Structures are given as structure tokens and as C-alpha cells.
Amino acid sequence: MPFYHKLGKIPHKRHTVFKKPDGGLYHEQLFGTIGFDGMSSNLYHIHRPTQVKEIKGSYDVSPKIAVENNLHSYRLKGFQVVPAPDYLESRKTVLTNADVSIILAAPQQSTNDYFYKNSDEDELIFVHKGSGKLRTHLGNIDFKYGDYLLIPRGVIYKLDFDDEDNRLFIVESTRPIYTPKRYRNHFGQLLEHSPFCERDLRQPHELESNDEKGEFLMKVKKQNKIFDMVYATHPFDVVGYDGYNYPYAFSIHDFEPITGRIHQPPPVHQTFETDAFVVCSFCPRLYDYHPESIPAPYNHSNIDSDEVLYYVDGDFMSRNDIEAGHISLHPAGIPHGPHPGAVERSIGQTKTEELAVMVDTFKPLQVTEDGMKIADDSYYKSWLEE
């Protein structure tokens, strides 16, 4: 949950006259959520933000389900997703349910020819490889390896990449994504025991205010379809705004791990939450310091949730034969834990350099056809003792 932010020029009071230099009026827009009850920002446009010239048509982007009722542990080899020039075409949904979709993308080019807006879902983009600039109608944010980019639904954006080698792990959520409630006081401020604070959240800057008329292609996602809409004015024409609803960035490298004398449970790694799933960051940290501690995680049953772990970098102590870009899926109801030999290897170790992103969902995940293309379906046997 971001805090109050102001960028550009705004009038002294909301819903009052705000004149352009030529005497005309700027056009106010309330960019709000949950009706008029959620987070919102007040935007001021050069042109009316409502000018649609044409709706050219739509195409379906619904994920194709391969495994609907799954009790199978999978390993997905994420870097086997083939790069594609276009950003939207590069996005491959590998796991999904009614609340969340997990997407891998390897775009080679910036989104030069269109603007994109997801009307139904918040997007959390984790940058595994690549750098560049997230450009939005609410300002720009520079990004690089290790950044989470949280883009609330309805934000119009482009991604400008510095080169062709990019890998993104994307979480698409039908529920709003917030920072964990237990880290915040009743004013919304992040507390002292939180593993990050407001100064770690990077807000938009470099507000683009384009005074252009013409034809501007906007690709809008709505109910698993992409609609091609032509706007009469440049979507990035905001001269100023203030409020709480805007995109922001947070680097996984700024997450401060919580450690203890014995092994800490996954909630200490929590970074974001919804009422349908949580996102955790596993970062380099000192291991447990009890003289007889076992640093490796204990066997556990996810009775109520599916567990997805995306491996980013470092030494994945609890797993054998895991590489960067791999995804493990451990479904609810099936116990899982460290691979054979991992517990013994961990004893006496003092630190880990692992870097990973975890998504725990409260509804079962379905494996898509794109997920099965990169799946190791023998992974569920990897706990057998020889």
C-alpha cells in the first residue's frame, strides 16, 4: 500500500477551476478503486481522457488449461520460454486460478507501437534479467535486475528496455495487491519490525505531459481479451496528480531478512499480500544460530494452499538440481520438504546467498499448456531415496 504522492502541477483544491496557460481548463479525473471507497488519485489532463476514436476489435488471451485438478508436484524450466519481440506476445501464462495468474515473459523489444492497460488485474512484475524504464500516465520509474514493479489495474503503461535480453516473472491478480497488513499501523505507516519501509519504495518521477492529437493505439485487457482501441489524444497527457493510487517499485535487494536461533517459517519473508495469495522474498541472509539448529526447512504440508517458488539466483540449499529461472509447484495436500541430502548438507552452514520469489495461493492452481511445455513431470519423484 503506497503512501501519499504528488507529482507535477495541481490546483489548491480538488474539483475546482484549474486553468491552462491559454485560459482553457485542464480536465480532472478521479483514478479510484473499490467504487469511491478505495485508494485513488486525482489526475489533471491536457485533453479529455475519454476520447475514443475507434474500437478495432479484440482477441482472446485466456490461458489454455492442460491440468485442471492437480496433485502433481512440477518443476517448470522458466528460461525455456522462447523470447519474442513483442511484450504482450512474449507473456506466457504457466499457472492460473480464478484469483491469480503466474506469467513468464522474455520480451526482446520495447512497447513502441502501443500503450497497454490491464483493466481487470493488478500486475506485479519481477525483473529477473534486464533494465530500462517503466513509462506510465502517472510518471516513469527506472528498473533493473531484482526490482518488483507494482502496477495497479487501470494504469496505462509502456516498458522501455535497454537491450534484448529480458526475463520477467509476472503475477497478475484480480485482487488488489498491498504490503502486509501486519507490517503497518492503523495510520498505514510501515512499522519498525517490517523488513522494509517507505524510503525503500520508489515512486514515479519524470511525468510526461504530451499535448498531441492523432491516433494512439491502446491495447486494453478486459475479461481475458485484448481490445485494440484508438484514442484521439496522447494517453500520457497528465500535467499533475496527487493521491495514493499509482505504480511503484521495490527492489528485492532492499528486503531485510528476519532471522532467528532456529528456522523461521515462510511468513517472515512475506512482501506483498491479497486476500487470495501472498508473495514472499527469500534473500541472502545469515542462517539460524542455535548450536544445534538445522538451517534446511522442515518437511511441511501445504494443507490450504499451493506453493510456487521462482528461483532467481544463488545457492538453493533445500533443492537438488535447481537452476535460475526454474519454478517449483507444490500443490496443497501433498507434504514436501528438502531433497535427500539437503538437511545433512545444511548443518553447520552459516549463511545462504539464495534469491527467490514465492507465491502461495489459497485456491488450487491449474497448469496451462504453456506450463506443460516447460515442465519436468518426473520432479515429483525427486524425493525418493536411492
Name the residues annotated as catalytic. Answer: 263
Q: What 3-state DSSP class applies to 356?
A: strand
Q: What 3-state DSSP class applies to 343?
A: helix
Q: What 3-state DSSP class applies to 174?
A: coil
The answer to whether 186 is annotated as binding is no
Distance of CA 36 to the CA centre of its chain: 25
The answer to whether 47 is annotated as binding is no
Distance of CA 272 to the CA centre of its chain: 9
Residue 161 one-letter amino acid: F
DSSP output for 204-267: PBS------EEEEEEEEEETTEEEEEEEEE-S--EEEEEES---EEEEGGG------SSPPPGG
Which residues is 329 bridged to in the sheet?
Answer: 74, 308
Query: Could you tell me the CA-to-CA distances from 344 to 117, 296, 316, 347 in Å, in that order?
Result: 49, 8, 14, 6
Q: What 3-state DSSP class applies to 60?
A: strand
How many Cβ atoms sit within 10 Å of the Cβ of residue 300? 13
Q: What 3-state DSSP class applies to 63?
A: coil
Largest CA distance in the chain: 80
C-alpha cell at 350: 552459516
Q: Are strands 213-222 and 115-118 parallel, antiparallel or unpaired?
A: parallel
β-sheet with 139-143: strand ranges across? 52-60, 225-233, 213-222, 115-118, 156-161, 132-136, 139-143
How many Cβ atoms sit within 10 Å of the Cβ of residue 136? 26
Query: What is the spatial distance between Cα 313 and Cα 325, in angstroms, rounded to a whole number?
Result: 8
Distance of CA 93 to the CA centre of its chain: 13
First vs last C-alpha separation in the chain: 48
Q: What 3-state DSSP class applies to 307?
A: strand
Asked if residue 173 lies in contact with residue 274, where contact means CB atoms within 8 angstroms, the answer is yes
The answer to whether 306 is annotated as binding is yes
Which residues define the annotated binding site?
300, 306, 336
